[in-house]
Amino acid sequence: MDLGLKDKVALVTGAGSQIGFGKAIALTLAREGCDVVVNDINIEGAEQTAAEVRALGRKALAIKADIRNKDEVDNMVKTALKEFGRIDILVNNAGAPGIGPPTSEEVWDINVNINFKGTWYVTNAVIPHMRERRSGKIVNFSSSVARSGTGGLYAAAKEAVIGLTKSWARELGPLGINVNGIAPGMGDTGFQIAAKATPEQKQRFISTVPMRRLTTPQDIANTVAFLVSDVSSDITGQTIQVDGGDYMF
Instruction: Kindly list the catalytic residues.
Output: 154
- Comparing CB distances to other proteins, the nearer of 100 and 237 is 237
Residues 69-128 interacting with other proteins (rule: CB under 8 A): none
Answer yes or no whether residue 174 interacts with other proteins by CB under 8 A.
yes
243 binds other proteins (CB under 8 A): yes
| Residue number with CB closer to other proteins (18 or 216) | 216
- In whole angstroms, the minimum distance from the beta carbon of 246 to other proteins comes to 9
Tell me which long-range contacts 207-213 makes (C-beta under 8 A, separation of at least 24). 208/246, 209/185, 209/243, 209/244, 209/245, 209/246, 210/244, 210/245, 210/246, 211/244, 211/245, 212/244, 213/244
Which of 134, 170, 198, 204 is in the footprint of other proteins by CB under 8 A? 170
Nearer to other proteins among residue 7 and residue 106 (C-beta) = 7
Binding-site member from 67, 215, 217, 228 for other proteins (CB under 8 A): 215
Burial state string for 70-86 with b = 16 or more CB within 10 A and e = fewer than 16 = bebbeebbeebbeebee
Cα 114 from Cα 120, distance rounded (Å): 10
**Coil, strand, or helix at residue 12?**
strand
Smallest separation, CB 145 to other proteins (Å): 16
Determine which helix (DSSP H) or strand (DSSP E) holds 6, and give its type and residue range.
none
Instruction: Give the Cα separation of 177 and 165 in Å (integer).
Output: 12
Q: Does 57 bind other proteins (CB under 8 A)?
A: no
Instruction: Please say which residue, 31 or 117, places its beta carbon nearer to other proteins.
Output: 31
Q: Which stretch binds other proteins (CB under 8 A): 80-88, 97-105, 126-134, 205-213?
A: 205-213
| Contact in structure between 215 and 175 (CB atoms under 8 Å) | no
Using CA atoms, how far apart are residues 139 and 166, in angstroms rounded to an integer? 11
Among 17, 32, 111, 164, binds other proteins (CB under 8 A): 32
- List residues bridging with 177 in a β-sheet: 136
Residues binding other proteins (CB under 8 A): 1, 3, 28, 31-32, 165-166, 169-170, 173-174, 176, 185, 210-213, 215-216, 219, 222-223, 225-226, 231-238, 240-245, 248-249
